[in-house]
């Protein structure tokens, strides 16, 4: 009886609601570990099923898949191991704040406050500015650290960028840690003092503030990746900033044309204000025909990897990237990985990706650009949301890799015994 009534109600609703508006709720996705995917072709094939790739390494991926997608992967001969929910749902504190257990993470506002106070306490070492505004109007924060920060010297410049992906909050802590350690180490730590006397360091601590704020807007986590820009002519929101850069954009099936997808590349290269303005700022560092920035790390999470260009092709060489460049990328990548225990590989060997910042930084400016995927290696260790208790350990873990990059920034190819033209 009850059933019949329900059926009648649904039937009426179906008649009243136009088909187009009666969009079925998205089918629930579940988390799986896919073991045994030990080559880029297989991992790229999994990515192209439309599943959401959460993490992965040499021989596994962790994905969010709908029941239909999971069935398709199994039909393709893959084994799927269900992953338990990583942790019990944390307790919210307030909308826009990190939940209980995550209070050591910084919101955009807290980040701004902390950076301003570092600049105030180290006025000659730290300067905070912005390179533009996000789609929703947040100033895009830029920090410079050096021995005499107000003077533009003729020294190698190094860029660290964080949180192109909204939910990768631990990377914001990484960038903040870099600013803090360098600022506090100047004049107290001889190695840092020496480095800052011969380098100019730039930090973009939160490349996607709208997304990061949205991810915590309910007081719990929303698993948001993209920015918060509306997409043309449909109701979907957000572009994947790390698929929106202009080198080989949309070339190779390494991004999605579907605005509903998590790797949506946007309608055109640099359609996102966040990437367009970071591009303009990087371009502005070309002085007298010479790009001042020589080396870069773009921090992501998770999987504990050190990745280098190109991502759009599995070939280790490509346009403007010769064998000696590839050897250099590998050598420094391996040396950085030896300091933090991450796994080093060319980024396409994880899966094909096009439109990344790292590919553009190399192709456009010959900046030695690495992508570091931070802690952890699995969803079962918290995935994108490890507790704040690991922040100190996991940011300090990258100190030696950061210092190595800073050290080689005068001439990265000297790591393979090659020479650099005088700057």
- Using CB under 6 A, list all residues that contact ligand CXA: 165, 168, 242, 300, 307, 311, 347, 353, 356, 358, 371, 373
Among Ca ion, Zn ion, ligand CXA, none, what binds residue 161 when CB lies within 5 to 8 Å by partner kind?
none
Closer residue to Zn ion in complex, CB, 300/397:
300
Q: What is the contact surface with Ca ion in residues (CB under 5 A)?
A: 152-153, 200
* Shortest Å distance, C-beta 301 to Zn ion: 7
**Among candidate residues 125, 142, 105, 110, the one with its CA nearest the CA of residue 180:** 125
* Shortest Å distance, C-beta 31 to ligand CXA: 14
Closer residue to Ca ion in complex, CB, 154/414:
154
Structure tokens at 350: 């994880």
**Among candidate residues 422, 341, 412, 325, the one with its CA nearest the CA of residue 375:** 341
Q: What is the contact surface with Zn ion in residues (CB under 5 A)?
A: 165, 300
Among Ca ion, ligand CXA, Zn ion, none, what binds residue 307 when CB lies within 5 to 8 Å by partner kind?
ligand CXA
The answer to whether 160 and 178 are in contact (CB under 8 A) is yes
Taken in order 374, 376, 378, 381, the sign of the CA dihedral is: negative
Among Ca ion, Zn ion, ligand CXA, none, what binds residue 358 when CB lies within 5 to 8 Å by partner kind?
ligand CXA
Q: What is the DSSP string of 314-325?
A: SSS-BTTB-HHH
* Shortest Å distance, C-beta 268 to Zn ion: 21
Closer residue to ligand CXA in complex, CB, 168/316:
168
Chain residue at closest Cβ approach to Ca ion: 152
| Angle made by CA atoms 166, 170, 172, in degrees to the nearest 5 | 70
Among ligand CXA, Zn ion, Ca ion, none, what binds residue 152 when CB lies within 5 to 8 Å by partner kind?
Ca ion
**Has 155 been annotated as catalytic?**
no
The answer to whether 320 and 366 are in contact (CB under 8 A) is yes
The answer to whether 254 and 243 are in contact (CB under 8 A) is yes
Which is catalytic among the residues 200, 274, 373, 394?
373
For the beta carbon of residue 114, count every other beta carbon within 10 angstroms: 15
* Shortest Å distance, C-beta 419 to ligand CXA: 28
Among Ca ion, ligand CXA, Zn ion, none, what binds residue 349 when CB lies within 5 to 8 Å by partner kind?
none
Please list the residues that pair with 227 across neighbouring strands.
none
* Shortest Å distance, C-beta 63 to Zn ion: 15
Quote the CA–CA distance of 236 and 64 in Å, as a whole number.
Answer: 19
- Backbone dihedral angles phi then psi of residue 99, each to the nearest 5 degrees: -70, 175
Q: Where are the alpha helices (DSSP H) in 317-356?
A: 323-340
Structure tokens at 31: 């988390």
Q: Which residues contact 253 (CB under 8 A, 6 or more apart)?
A: 44, 48, 352, 354
Among Ca ion, ligand CXA, Zn ion, none, what binds residue 316 when CB lies within 5 to 8 Å by partner kind?
none
Closer residue to Ca ion in complex, CB, 343/407:
407
List Cα–Cα distances, 248 to 29, 113, 129, 255, in angstroms: 31, 38, 30, 11
* Shortest Å distance, C-beta 384 to Zn ion: 9
Among Ca ion, ligand CXA, Zn ion, none, what binds residue 147 when CB lies within 5 to 8 Å by partner kind?
none
* Shortest Å distance, C-beta 339 to ligand CXA: 19
Grouping H, G, I as helix, E, B as strand and the rest as coil, residue 421 is: coil
| Most distant CA atoms of the chain, gap in Å | 86
Closer residue to Ca ion in complex, CB, 52/157:
157
Quote the CA–CA distance of 243 and 62 in Å, as a whole number.
Answer: 20
Quote the CA–CA distance of 420 and 423 in Å, as a whole number.
Answer: 8
Give catalytic residue positions.
373
């Amino acid at each position: 009886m009850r059933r019949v009534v329900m059926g009648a109600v649904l039937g009426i609703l179906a008649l009243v609601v136009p088909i187009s508006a009666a969009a079925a709720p998205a089918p629930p996705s579940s988390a799986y570990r896919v073991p045994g995917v030990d080559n880029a072709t297989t991992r790229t094939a999994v990515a192209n099923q439309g599943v959401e790739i959460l993490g992965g390494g040499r021989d596994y991926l962790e994905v969010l898949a709908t029941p239909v997608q999971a069935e398709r992967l199994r039909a393709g001969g893959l084994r799927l191991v269900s992953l338990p929910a990583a942790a019990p749902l944390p307790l919210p504190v307030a909308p826009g704040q990190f939940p209980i257990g995550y209070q050591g993470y910084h919101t955009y506002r807290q980040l701004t406050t902390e950076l301003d106070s570092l600049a105030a306490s180290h006025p000659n070492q730290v300067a905070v500015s912005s390179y533009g505004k996000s789609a929703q109007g947040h100033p895009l924060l830029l920090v410079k650290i050096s021995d005499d920060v107000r003077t533009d010297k003729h020294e190698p410049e190094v860029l660290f960028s964080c949180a192109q992906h909204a939910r990768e909050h631990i990377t914001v802590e990484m960038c903040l840690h870099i600013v803090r350690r360098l600022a506090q180490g100047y004049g107290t730590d001889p190695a840092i003092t020496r480095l800052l006397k011969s380098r100019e360091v730039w930090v973009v601590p939160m490349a996607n503030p709208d997304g990061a704020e949205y991810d915590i807007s309910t007081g719990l986590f929303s698993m948001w990746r993209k920015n918060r820009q509306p997409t043309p002519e449909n109701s979907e929101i957000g572009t994947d900033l790390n698929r929106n850069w202009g080198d080989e954009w949309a070339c190779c099936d390494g991004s999605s044309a579907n605005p509903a997808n998590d790797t949506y590349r946007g309608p055109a290269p640099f359609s996102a204000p966040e990437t367009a303005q970071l591009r303009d700022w990087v371009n502005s560092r070309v002085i007298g025909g010479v790009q001042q920035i020589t080396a870069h790390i773009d921090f992501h999470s998770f999987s504990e990897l050190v990745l280098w260009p190109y991502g759009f092709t599995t070939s280790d060489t490509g346009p403007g990237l010769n064998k000696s460049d590839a050897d250099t990328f590998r050598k420094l990548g391996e040396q950085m990985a030896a300091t933090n225990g991450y796994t080093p590989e060319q980024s396409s060997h994880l899966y094909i990706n096009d439109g990344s910042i790292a590919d553009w930084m190399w192709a456009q400016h010959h900046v030695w650009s690495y992508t570091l995927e931070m802690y952890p290696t699995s969803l079962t260790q918290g995935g994108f949301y490890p507790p704040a208790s690991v922040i100190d350990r996991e940011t300090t873990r990258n100190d030696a890799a950061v210092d190595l990059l800073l050290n080689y920034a005068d001439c990265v190819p000297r790591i393979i015994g090659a020479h650099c033209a005088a700057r």
